[in-house]
Amino acid sequence: MTLAEQLKAKISAQSALVKAAIDAGRAMSPEEQTQFDALEAEIKNLEATIEAQKKIEERAKDAVTPSSEPIYAEPKAHKPLWSHFGEFMFAVKQAATPGIAIDNRLLVQNAASGANEGVQSDGGFLVEKETTNELLKDTYETSVLAPMCKKYPISATKNGLKINMIDESSRADGSRQGGVLAYWEGEADLLTASKPKFGQLELNLKKLTGLYYATDELLDDTVALQAAVTDFFSDEFSFKLDDAILRGTGAGMPLGIFNSPALITVSKTASQTADTISFNNVNDMWARCRARNRIRAAWFINQEIETQLPKMTIATGTYSGVTVYMPPTGIAGQMYGTLFGRPVIPIEQASAIGDVGDIMLADMSEYLLIDKGGIQGASSIHVRFLYDESVFRFIYRVDGKPKRNKPLTPYKGANTLSPFIVLEAR
């Protein structure tokens, strides 16, 4: 007998007791009242069980894309278990408080992910996917460099990506596309064959991690907690990701532009004063940026350089004394100033003024990023139990490197070209 059939039978039995008393023109006897009350308790229990079953079925249905939909259709949105992250963290704290029952949403959340890290026995609870996705979104909104990169998501069963690339280091005849060459042939001449040369770019996921210790006092204020965690980790993850894109060693972290063999370092001018930027510097850098990269390129600078830019002028020739930097034009205009028509963007990861990397001209679409499944979050109520603190862990699996592994020799001319240009130390 189904739950619905059991409920119907209980209600019928209860109705029969009442009807018998009414038909006899009397109130229910004590025995009948006892039976009625027992049936009432059973009916309420069955109704609650049926309602719980409906909720579970609805959640399971919302979490899976219906088979009638195409495989590329997005799953239907479902209501998050938690109204915000602070509410989840407070529930974790309450789970460690003697005499207070564990919030069932914590158990549902962990069970939905299958095998994991022990949950209740160690006080570990997975952070809901909606929360970690929002944290990753905030990270990319706070970042400057990462959103400009070419990004590839990695499937659940993979830990890296291999991309076949044209191995092109020169635009000279016989080297374009790694060896493709076309010929002008006469009628009935034997055609000459050529073929491209391929290389392989490999990226393997690295781990960017963060731990957050929340005191029980802060856990009691869920609104403040939500703001604190989001601000702390979105800012820190975005800073470390942008810094790795510039300075990463490639060992346990992405390979940064400054450590890439594709980077071109332009020489300073003779007898140049220390810690200065001149028109000759930026002109020489612009000349080494490949023409097709210029439309997407931007200048990335240490903010201290900004005081020199409005004073930058052409030093010699017909246009001597003409300023070359266009400052921002206000709320209704450009957010950034420009050099050669490209935006000048201050970033705190740029080197100190005078050092290599204090100014960079780069087309960031030539930098590749891969990641897998966004940020993974988990929590524990026992790691810092004696300190009245709960710990929240976040892991972001990501890797990146420049698309090119060497500068490009032009078809005509001696100076190599690159999407990434910096200036020599001064």
Copy the structure tokens of residue 32: 């009948």
**394 neighbors 133 (Cβ within 8 angstroms):** no
Task: Give residue 98's region: left, alpha or beta (phi > 0; psi -120 to 50).
Answer: beta
Helical ranges in 64-103 per DSSP H: 85-95
What does the alpha-carbon distance between residue 258 and residue 406 come to, in Å, rounded to a whole number?
13
> How far is Cα 392 from Cα 232, in angstroms, rounded to an integer?
12
Residues of the chain with pLDDT under 50: 65-77, 112-123
Q: Maximum distance among all alpha carbons in the chain?
A: 118
Selection from 384, 84, 87 nearest residue 219 by Cα:
87
Phi, psi of 363 (to 5 degrees): -100, 100
Helix (H) or strand (E) holding 61: helix 30-62
pLDDT of residue 120: 43
3-state secondary structure of 390: strand
CB atoms within 10 A of CB 5: 9
In degrees and rounded to multiples of 5, residue 91 shows phi and psi of -65, -35
Dihedrals φ, ψ of 308, to 5°? -90, -25
Sequence-distant (≥ 6) Cβ neighbours of residue 384 within 8 angstroms: 213, 390, 391
Distance CA 402, CA 165 (A): 12
Number of other CB atoms surrounding residue 127 within 10 Å: 23
d(CA 148, CA 181): 33
Task: Please give the pLDDT value at position 352.
Answer: 96
As a whole number of angstroms, the distance between CA 355 and CA 268 comes to: 11
| Pick from 146, 254, 242, 264: nearest CA to 201 | 254
* SS3 category, 313: strand
> In angstroms, rounded to a whole number, what is the distance separating the alpha carbons of residues 358 and 423?
8
Does the model's pTM come out above 0.75?
Answer: no
**Residue 402 to residue 396: CA distance in whole angstroms:** 20
Rounded to 5 degrees, φ, ψ at 372 are -135, 110
